[in-house]
Amino acid sequence: MPKKPKPKPSIDDLRALAGGNYFRTGAQFDDNAVETLFDTIQKRWAKGNPLTQDIRKPRTHGALNFHYSFLCIQLKPNKPPFLPNLDLLEKSYGFVLLIEVNGVVAIFKRGTSGFEDWIESECDPIEKRALTRTFSDNAIYEKVSLRRMTVSRNELQGCSYEAFDLATTIPVLGLGRSIPRFIRLSHAVAGTVSLTPATSRMHKSGGRLTVDQLAKEVSDVASSLAAPVANGFLDAFNTERVKQPLEPHFIQLIWILAAFVHSCREMGAKASVVCKP
């Protein structure tokens, strides 16, 4: 009997978790940009031709208008890690889904990675201050992981806090020198939301969603970004870039200058050091 043709997955067959990376569409974000991304993924990850490739297709769900781009591929086979000595290959599939709503693009994926350069060139980052305030109205913050802004190797570099309501329990002293690396909050409408500001990743708890349901989630995020709400708890933190530790040669220079000043004082001389940029 002849083999039946493989079914071609459609966007309506997709069910994905509501965990994606959010960015703003850049000035050069167009069909060619998405096609470049899909070609890169295809060459790196796919076995054979893509099963489905849709590029910036318009779609309407109720009153919501959005564009989606969908790539579904069969991944290159690998040996099962638990049977390394047998000549067996796993058969698996992956996908990339881009949803554009009101100038915001969300990237959902499985089985593919390594296209950060494309994101940097074709998308604009969302400000960390705006991202961390997504769904901040009437939110209860349950967990936060922090990176401390310090150059000392003898201080804590980071810490985590977890409570039913951190806004009423976390010590506020020193929070201005800390940058949130991970936030988990509970919202009456959005449910449980996890944020990773460094990668612009946002994940909502719950089951797998259709593309229309995912577009609604992206629309909610876009609306929240367009009208950020002040939050006293989040305002205590710093959202700037973390200061990196000093280079070893700078540290050595500081110690030499300190030793020089100390020697001069030991000898009873007056010494002054003037630092110029």
Q: Note whether 29 and 80 are same-domain residues.
A: yes
Q: Note whether 17 and 117 are same-domain residues.
A: yes
Q: Which two tokens stand for residue 113?
A: 């990675």
Q: Note whether 95 and 110 are same-domain residues.
A: yes
Low-confidence ranges of the chain (pLDDT < 50): 241-246, 269-271, 273, 276-277
CA distance 268 to 265: 5
Q: Note whether 166 and 185 are same-domain residues.
A: yes
258 found inside a domain: no
Write down the pLDDT at residue 190: 86
Write down the pLDDT at residue 243: 43
Q: Note whether 173 and 225 are same-domain residues.
A: yes
pTM for this structure? Answer: 0.79
Q: Note whether 118 and 158 are same-domain residues.
A: no
Write down the pLDDT at residue 244: 45
252 found inside a domain: no
Domain boundary among 72, 107, 127: 127
Q: Residue 68's domain spans which residues? A: 11-127
CA distance 28 to 153: 42
Q: Note whether 123 and 18 are same-domain residues.
A: yes
Write down the pLDDT at residue 266: 59
243 found inside a domain: no
4 found inside a domain: no
277 found inside a domain: no
Q: Note whether 59 and 117 are same-domain residues.
A: yes
Q: Terminal CA-to-CA distance of the chain, rounded, Å?
A: 80
CA distance 139 to 186: 6
Q: Please state the domain count of the chain.
A: 2
Write down the pLDDT at residue 65: 96
Q: Note whether 108 and 139 are same-domain residues.
A: no
Q: Note whether 123 and 153 are same-domain residues.
A: no
266 found inside a domain: no
Across all residues in the chain, what is the average pLDDT?
84
Q: Note whether 100 and 39 are same-domain residues.
A: yes
User: In which residue are the tokens 């009456």 written?
Assistant: 188
Write down the pLDDT at residue 157: 79
185 found inside a domain: yes
Which amino acid appears at position 253 of this protein? L
Write down the pLDDT at residue 277: 47
Q: Note whether 113 and 153 are same-domain residues.
A: no
247 found inside a domain: no
